Chain A
Amino acid sequence: MSITLDQVTKHYGGAPVVNDVSLEIGDGEFFVLLGPSGSGKSTLLRAIAGLSGVDHGRIALHGRDVTHIAARKRGVGLVFQNYALFDHMTVADNIEFALRVRHVRARARRQRRQELLRLVALEGMDHRLPAQLSGGQQQRVAVARALAHQPEVLLLDEPFGALDAKIREELRRTIRQVQRELGITTVLVTHDQDEAFAMADRIGIMNLGRLLEVGAPHDLYVRPATRFVATFLGAANLLLARSTPDGIQLGASVVAPAGHVAGAPEHEVVAVVRPEEVELAPTRAALAARYVAEGVIEEVVFTGALERLRVRLTDGAAEPLPAFAEGDANTALQVTRSRHAQRGFEVHAGQAVAIGVRRVHVLSTPLSSFTACAASAPLAEALSRQPLLAELVARMKTRVGMRVEPQLGVPNAACETAAAFVGTTVIAARPEGAQRAEWLLRRGAQDLLILPEQASAPQRVLIHWMGEAARSATLAVSASVLRHVPAEAVYVGIFPGDADSARHPPGMRELLDARSEAQAAHGLEMRTELRFGEATQELSARLADAPAQMLIVGVTDLARFGARFGALLDGGSWPVLIVQRDAA
């Protein structure tokens, strides 16, 4: 491996900017780190270059641990967005800089310089000053300069950011060509997905300091695992669907045979529908793809080869299809159509159409939507606007529904609403958080968020489960939550008794198993902590330790729930997400 990152973490003023990133980049690979600004991608690149230290974790280049080695000894070449050329030196002096530092003889220097200038197509420019070159030419010089000392790794930090579209295109091609010719391992940082698609062998997508997914461009586009990647890499409609024994039900039809686990209850899932996978027809019968819903064309934008449409969903199905397009909460579907499709069926704004879907991809996230549950409609309404919940909803591009249960918390009372619980149910922590939580959990709520009024975005998420049956689900939920908040994940392992009796290897093994499962199955990097004593007591103590913490806890049985969870749910200012799974 050329570059190995192991749990690299970097904080600025308490908040993690790079959060537990582990990654391996192969020899000669062109790897693109893609993410919005502030996602930590540049900081990660600077950490690889050695320009900023890391707080935790390890960085190795070609098997050599360089975590504590100075930038100048790492053998990397770095190219900056603003070129960072030495303005008082000629092109030749700029390129030869690294060779002069290494006391290379003048003849060898000149030879290498000419080789590099040919490589970046700037022959004969040796004696110009940077100020006399265009932006594109300056960046070529910067690339040549970064390659002069034959580094093992080339790092490019938004190298095309300051260039206009046409020159950008040209320079992309040059850099890709140079990279292939030299076979040098290259990491490019960008926020531009076109650039990532055009250049990458593999793409790693970062958000909020976490490396969310890594894969070949095509795989990430077709089978994203997370909402963020689905919507950041190209346009996507995120739709709520149901996983049923027959398959994935989206609106009116079962649209995909997706792997529903036999015997598992029906549940809500998040489906990704790319704009180009939507088909429009005048009537349901005229659709070639599976019918989903009726809609009305809201907007038609002609962009040359493609036509972009926004289609508002009307009903169409017995159960209306809750959809949310990228960015806004209304139910307009993004659709793109080729010239061919446009000729087959011409549309205009205001026209009613039947909507079909050719292909859907179901995300593995267990968190689909939220339902604010309270004893009255105004309370539920108020709860749905709680800041932390609102932030989660906005970040997850999902929606929050409402459910009124007048008998909430009254022992032996039945649910007012007959429908099953959908998505994650949310209740206020006060009053009687524990009692209401138990009431809902016993009546079928699986994922339950208990939210104190003043709770805000956590900086640390504690993870624990009581009973192995809840392990996988708890990890999956945790991973999903942590993709949307910039917090560190800590698995709290709690063993009965005092520290002495816990030298038993099974305890440690459980801890390590949990960590590797989180990493392998969900791409979630966790710290681990050991505590000794009674589980809920220890968790309460740990939560009271520091502000801005959240707990995600898996439970399998509800015996003595009130006694066990009273302190945890009634006393604190921390949000608790309970994941209930039956001990099968």
Chain B
Amino acid sequence: MSFAKPSVLPGFGLTFGFTTLFLSAIVLLPLAALTLAAASMQWSDFLAVVLSARALGSYRLSFGASLLAASINLVFGSIIAWTLVRYEFPGRKIIDALIDMPFAMPTAVSGIALTTVFAPTGWIGGLLQPLGVQVTYTWLGVTLALTLISMPFAVRTLQPALLEVQGELEEAAETLGARRFYVFRRIILPTVLPALLTGFTLCFARAVGEYGSVIFIAGNLPMKTEITPLLIVIHLEEFDYQGAAALGVVMLAISFVVLLTLNLLQAWRRRRHVRAAH
């Protein structure tokens, strides 16, 4: 192909073809089918489904809790990644392995486990109850579940980035007179910012699509603790495939806009960085 740059490894044609095919079959086609299913609806029916009060409430919870969960992971995931990268302590390898546990567990199991611990009769829930904090069956529980299942994304994207921040940079900054917080803000943060954004994006994407763990801890009260994926399942159970597809399209659109924004932000940052150079 003419637009392929010469490369040491041949096979651009083959790999490009495979990429296109694979993406089409696995990602694009199903998405198109979904959109088509929704498109067969009347416009007014479509609006009625996606703008119903119940649907609006579920968007708020789904996207709000996902953003919150991603933000929490940004902070605490960074701290965990930092600890794992920078310090050598007994049990480090074990903790490092534990990070991936939420990946491996069926999400329903995570949900049940969380519910057990945070229910008013559970270990932590029992402690929170007297303080008037209710976790299960509230938006707090939803956020908690989403935080747990997306946490590995934050840690795993940040670890390699932090590994790359040379200790020498911090030392250089220190000999130049900078205090620790200043070093963090001006040296470490800018260096790992792309990884932070990526981690945030991945966490968010994972949280929005989550279903299994949330339904156990959320209680699924319409308008209050009902997430959009659950609403979709409810529509399916009522054999309302079109309604489910309509909600699916809305989720798709919002997710796409958010992810695109984050990616553009990254690209803009990179461009600005390069422009500063000229």
Contacts and interface: CB of A to CB of B under 8 A. Distances in A.
Interface stretch (A85-93, A241-249, A313-321, A360-368): A85-93
Contact of B178 (A97, A142, A145, A146): A97
A474 to B, nearest CB: 43
Interface stretch (A125-133, A206-214, A437-445): A125-133
A146 B168 CA distance: 13
Nearest to A88: B190
Given A80-B168, A87-B191, A132 B175 contact: no
B19 to A, nearest CB: 30
Interface stretch (A69-77, A177-185, A520-528): A69-77
A226 B178 CA distance: 43
Contacts, number: 74
Interface in A139-163: 142, 145-146, 148-149
Interface in B152-203: 166, 168-169, 171-179, 182, 186-187, 190-191
A87 B191 CA distance: 8
Contacts of B25: none
Interface residues of B, number: 21
A146 B176 CA distance: 7
Contact of B175 (A49, A88, A90): A49
Which of B174, B175, B186 is most buried by chain A, counting CB atoms within 10 A of its CB? Answer: B175
Interface string B224-245: 0000000000000000000000
A101 B182 contact: yes
B273 interface: yes
B172 A80 contact: yes
A88 B185 CA distance: 13
Interface centre among B171, B179, B182 (most CB of A within 10 A): B171
Interface in A338-357: none
B276 interface: yes
A107 interface: no
A503 interface: no
Nearest to B190: A88
B197 to A, nearest CB: 14
Contact of A97 (B166, B171, B176): B176
Given A78-B172, A128-B277, A149-B176, 13 more contacts: A70-B174, A72-B174, A76-B175, A78-B175, A80-B172, A82-B166, A87-B191, A88-B191, A98-B176, A98-B177, A127-B278, A132-B277, A142-B172
Interface of B: 166, 168-169, 171-179, 182, 186-187, 190-191, 273, 276-278
Interface of A: 49-51, 70-74, 76-78, 80, 82, 84, 86-88, 90, 97-98, 101-102, 127-129, 131-132, 142, 145-146, 148-149
